[in-house]
Amino acid sequence: MTATSIERPFTVVSLLPHLLDTNGDAGNARVLAQRARWAGRAAQVVDVSTRADLPEHVDAVSIGSGTDAALLPARDALRTLVEELRIWSNSGVPILAVGTGWELLSWGIDLADGAVIEGLGLVAGHAVPRVSRATDDIIVSSKYGRLIGFENHARDYVGAEASPLGRVVYGTGNGDAPASGPQIEGLTMGEVFCTHLHGPVLARNPGLADYLLEAAFRRSGLSYSRGAMATSVDDTAQTVRNQVAVRLGQSAE
């Protein structure tokens, strides 16, 4: 533990929130910052649209989802930050990417009209069109606990079979179950986490938020402990998850 790591605020970068916040996913950055404050750290969210917006130090990164109309401008903006994204991912900075934000980090996006948008190539796999849009609640079994959210995507994701976020209990996730294994959701690569879950996912699943915070604190030589103020919020999130699970024919936790 160093004096510098204690004095400087815990900094969460929210990438392109003006383009990638269709489902409220930019709120994931605020969740991380607030839970860091409840754990006793000063914290801030820095909205980054260009390199000029980058803070001196980055503890965690949040990338939300956008419309297809925003795919090209968002991709072009992210390209100017690709070196930073590569450094963050290689050095253990937790990165959460949701929906099209995730797709833009991939090898690329196949569109329904046959066009292909080249991605940044930072995570394995690519997005391919679905016959019908996936719009429903989703339940995922993962090592970070049971995750519950809402999925709203027109594309499946292929090529992430080796490192999924979890196994689909209810919903679509990355696509139909392969013949050789379970239906999966999301992708993980080191401390990079990609998912279709909206909600925002960290507000509805604080266990995943705490895992990201543990990784970020550990990287700074600090120990993370959930703050007392988080208890009532987490109880509310648990109640909501249980209500959704029971409605979908699953047991409460």
User: Strand pairing of 166-170 and 126-142?
Assistant: antiparallel
At 105, which helix (H) or strand (E)? helix 100-105
pLDDT value of residue 6: 53
As a whole number, mean pLDDT of residues 218-244 equals 95
As a whole number, mean pLDDT of residues 61-87 equals 97
Q: Could you read off the pLDDT of 169-188 as tens digits, one per residue?
A: 999 999 976 766 789 999 99
Domain with residue 157: its CATH number is 3.40.50.880
For residue 3, what pLDDT band results from cuts at 50, 70 and 90? Answer: very low
In a domain, 73, yes or no: yes
Domain that holds residue 160: 3-247
Looking at the structure of the chain, the number of domains it has is: 1
In a domain, 202, yes or no: yes
| C-alpha closest to that of 13 among 65, 49, 39, 41 | 49
pLDDT of 5 over the 50 cut:
no
pLDDT value of residue 179: 65
pLDDT value of residue 160: 86
In a domain, 160, yes or no: yes
Residue 247: burial class (beta carbons within 10 Å; 0-12, 13-18, 19+): exposed
In a domain, 10, yes or no: yes
Query: Alpha-carbon dihedral of residues 213, 134, 249, 186, nearest 10 degrees?
Result: -30
Q: How far apart are CA 179 and CA 97, in angstroms?
A: 27
In a domain, 184, yes or no: yes
In a domain, 253, yes or no: no
Q: Which one is predicted more confidently, 6 or 1?
A: 6
Amino acid at the residue 59: D
φ and ψ at residue 90, rounded to 5 degrees: -80, -15
Q: Model pTM?
A: 0.95
